[in-house]
Amino acid sequence: MKRMALIIVLSSSIALSGCGLFFPRGVCAGRCGVQTSNSSSLVGFLYPNGAPPPNDTIPELRVPLRVGLAILPSKTANGAIALDATQKQDLLERIRQRFSSRQFVSEIVIIPDYYLATAQGYAGLAGMQRLYNIDLVALVSYDQVTHQDSNKLSLGYLTIVGAYILPGTSRDTATLVDLAVVDPATKSLVLRAGGTSSDHGMSTLVDVNRDSRKASVAGFDAATTQMIGNFDAALTAFEADVRAGKANVRVVKRNSPGGGGGGGAGAFGALDVLELLLLLVAVLPQSRDYLRTYRRQRAFQSRDGVGRDRKVVSAGG
């Protein structure tokens, strides 16, 4: 009877503990470690058919810029925790608020990621550019890998108490968040910066999923914070290069006379000066004739007015 009671208690303990002995996140049963991944590839999205072709076209930036901001569709593997819609919106909103106050940016428009799900490559970006009337597109990509491994304490999962109090699962989470600004018209990369985060922790059997979700959210938050700081520094350096003429872009002022041609904002070329001189030559003779006629009329009106005034005064006196 005692043996039977011991067997029943042991069987119940194994069942209530979630059979940690036989599942991947418990003690090793042919799989001592589990690796999950959640990622979106910038290169894979922009160049779905292979390596990028050579491109010598220089992007032309018409300031102030209207920029579209989107997050690339992701793929998950082995049950990885994907970003939900709220997390994506918060991530994009942090980026928008940080850079919307730049003087050369008129507006940053957040674009839903489902617009990019069906149309990949620069062809898809060109369609989105026309739809939203934007100049540049800022694309957020990321890569998060979580590795879970069982240690010696996982043997305690054979008991009910062990599943709750023994941290038998070790977890490593590495996260990368990248922000790239591209010009769909010239298929050029204008600016890019990234941020990383790493986290290590221990979990009990019953808390593995919850701790993994918390580590995933914290990893994205930390990597995004670092990415924003790095992108801010890269943007400041890019502005300095533009002023010094070192950046591989042409910057023109929107709606300026020199905006569509080949110079800086508001500058007159040789043809503009020639046209202005011809216009002055054509207008000045007419202006002199008009001015002479106007002066004669004013002089006549003045003399006629004085005469009338004298007649009225003498009649009244």
Residues 6+ apart with CB under 8 A from 260: 252
pLDDT confidence of residue 262: 37
Buried residues in 185-207 as b, exposed as e (16+ CB within 10 A): ebbbbbbbbbbbbebeeebbbee
Distance (Å, whole) CA 235 – CA 158: 55
Above pLDDT 70, what percent of the chain?
68
* Residues forming a β-bridge with 85: none
Asked whether 228 and 94 are in contact (CB, 8 A), the reply is yes
3-class secondary-structure state, position 144 = strand
| pLDDT-derived band at 67, boundaries 50, 70, 90 | very high
Distance (Å, whole) CA 46 – CA 52: 8
For residue 183, the one-letter residue type is: D
> What pTM does this model have?
0.69
pLDDT confidence of residue 304: 56
pLDDT confidence of residue 47: 87
Distance (Å, whole) CA 183 – CA 72: 16
pLDDT confidence of residue 195: 96
| pLDDT-derived band at 291, boundaries 50, 70, 90 | low
Q: Residue by residue, what is the 3-state secondary structure of 214-230?
A: HHHHHHHHHHHHHHHHH
Average pLDDT over every residue of 1-22: 50
User: Where is average pLDDT lowest: 5-14, 157-166, 230-239?
Assistant: 5-14
> Does the pLDDT at position 34 exceed 70?
yes
How many CB atoms lie under 10 A from the CB of residue 212?
22
Q: Check the CA dihedral 55-58-62-63 and report its sign.
A: positive
Q: What are phi and psi of 9, to 5 degrees?
A: -65, -45
Q: Which of 198, 83, 185 is nearest to 134 (CA)?
A: 185
pLDDT confidence of residue 264: 36
User: Where is average pLDDT lowest: 123-127, 169-173, 219-223, 260-264?
Assistant: 260-264
Average pLDDT, the chain: 76
Distance (Å, whole) CA 66 – CA 137: 9
Q: What is the pLDDT of residues 241-273, one digit of tens each?
A: 988 888 888 888 877 554 443 333 333 344 344
The tokens describing 3, both together, are: 């043996």
Distances (CA, A) of 195 to 65, 79, 142, 282: 25, 24, 9, 62
